[in-house]
Chains A and B, each alone.
Chain A
Amino acid sequence: MLDLRVPSGWFFTILGAILLVMAVAAPGNRAELTDANVNLYCGAVMLGFGGFLLTLAWSAARKRP
Chain B
Amino acid sequence: MKLALVDYVILTIYFAFILGIGWRLRKKITTSGDFLTSAHSVPVWITSLAFLAANLGAQELVGMSASGAKYGIMTAHFYWIGAVPAMLFVGLFMMPFYYGSRARSVPEYLKLRFDEKTRALNAFTFAVMTVFSSGISMYALGLLLSLVLGWSFTTSVLCSAFIVLAYTFLGGLTSAIYNEVLQFFLIVVGFSPLAILAVSKAGGWSGMAERIPAVMTHSWKYMGSATENPMGIEIFGLVAGLGFVLSFGYWCTDFLVVQRAMAANSMSAARRTPVIAAIPKMIMPFIVIVPGIAALALSKMAVGYSLPMKNGGYDYDQALTTLMAKFYPAGMLGVGITGLMASFMSGMAGNVTAFNTVWTYDIYQSYIRPGAPDRHYLTVGRVTTIAGVALSIATAYVAQHYNNIMDLLQLVFGFVNAPLFATFLLGMFWKRATGHGAFIGLLSGTIAAALTHGLTVAEGKGGWIADINHFPSVMAQNFWIAIFAWTTCFLMTILVSLVTRPRPEKELEGLVYGLTKLGHDEGVSWYKRPAPVAVCVAVFLIILNFWFA
Contacts and interface: CB of A to CB of B under 8 A. Distances in A.
Interface of A: 1-2, 4, 7-8, 10-12, 14-15, 18-19, 22-23, 29-34, 36, 38-39, 41-43, 45-46, 49
Contacts of A34: 197, 201, 327
Contacts of A19: 331-332, 335
A39 B332 contact: yes
B74 interface: no
Contact of A33 (B10, B24, B305): B305
B182 interface: yes
A42 B6 contact: no
Given A34-B197, A38-B193, A38-B197, A15 B178 contact: no
A53 to B, nearest CB: 9
Given A7-B21, A19-B331, A22-B331, 11 more contacts: A4-B21, A7-B182, A8-B185, A12-B185, A23-B331, A30-B329, A31-B327, A32-B325, A33-B197, A38-B193, A42-B335
B304 A32 contact: yes
Contact of B41 (A1, A29, A33): A1
Contact of A38 (B21, B24, B325, B329): B329
Given A29-B329, A31-B328, A15 B193 contact: no
B46 A4 contact: yes
Contacts of B197: 33-34, 36, 38
B174 to A, nearest CB: 8
23 contacts: A1-B41, A2-B24, A4-B46, A7-B24, A8-B182, A11-B17, A12-B185, A14-B13, A19-B331, A19-B332, A19-B335, A29-B330, A31-B328, A32-B326, A33-B326, A34-B327, A38-B197, A38-B329, A39-B329, A39-B332, A42-B335, A43-B331, A46-B335
A22 B6 contact: yes
B326 A46 contact: no
The interface residues of chain A, by DSSP majority, are classed as: helix
Nearest to B28: A1
Contacts of A4: 21, 46, 178, 181-182
B405 interface: no
B327 A38 contact: yes
A39 to B, nearest CB: 4
Contacts of A1: 28, 41
Interface string B174-218: 000010011001000100010001000100000000000000000
Interface in B1-43: 6, 9-10, 13-14, 17, 20-21, 24-25, 28, 41
Contacts of B201: 33-34
Contact of A11 (B13, B330, B332): B13
B303 interface: yes
Given A2-B24, A4-B46, A11-B17, A18 B6 contact: yes
Interface in B315-346: 325-332, 335
B264 to A, nearest CB: 13
A44 to B, nearest CB: 12
Contacts, number: 88
A54 B238 CA distance: 44
Interface in B117-172: none
Contacts of B332: 19, 31, 38-39, 42
Given A15-B13, A45-B189, A33 B178 contact: no
Identify which of B21, B28, B189, B331 gathers the most chain A CB atoms within 10 Å of its CB.
B331
Contacts of A38: 193, 197, 327-329, 331-332
Nearest to B174: A1
B20 to A, nearest CB: 7
A7 B17 contact: yes
A41 B193 contact: yes
Identify which of B14, B304, B305, B335 gathers the most chain A CB atoms within 10 Å of its CB.
B335
B338 to A, nearest CB: 9
A30 B533 CA distance: 42
A18 B24 contact: no
Contact of B326 (A2, A14, A15, A31): A31
Contacts of B329: 22, 29-31, 38-39
Interface string B276-311: 000000000000000000000010000111000000
Identify which of B17, B201, B329 gathers the most chain A CB atoms within 10 Å of its CB.
B329
The 3 A-B pairs at the shortest CB distance, nearest first, are namely: A22-B331, A33-B326, A39-B331
A41 B331 CA distance: 12
A14 B6 CA distance: 12
A29 B25 CA distance: 39
A18 B330 CA distance: 11
A12 B17 CA distance: 11
Contacts of A46: 189, 335
Contacts of B181: 4, 8
Contacts of B6: 18, 22
Identify which of A15, A19, A36 gathers the most chain B CB atoms within 10 Å of its CB.
A15
B549 to A, nearest CB: 31
A63 to B, nearest CB: 15
Contacts of B193: 38, 41-42
Given A8-B185, A42-B193, A49-B189, A33 B327 contact: yes
Nearest to A8: B182
A8 to B, nearest CB: 5
Given A29-B331, A38-B327, A18 B10 contact: yes
Contacts of A7: 17, 20-21, 24, 182
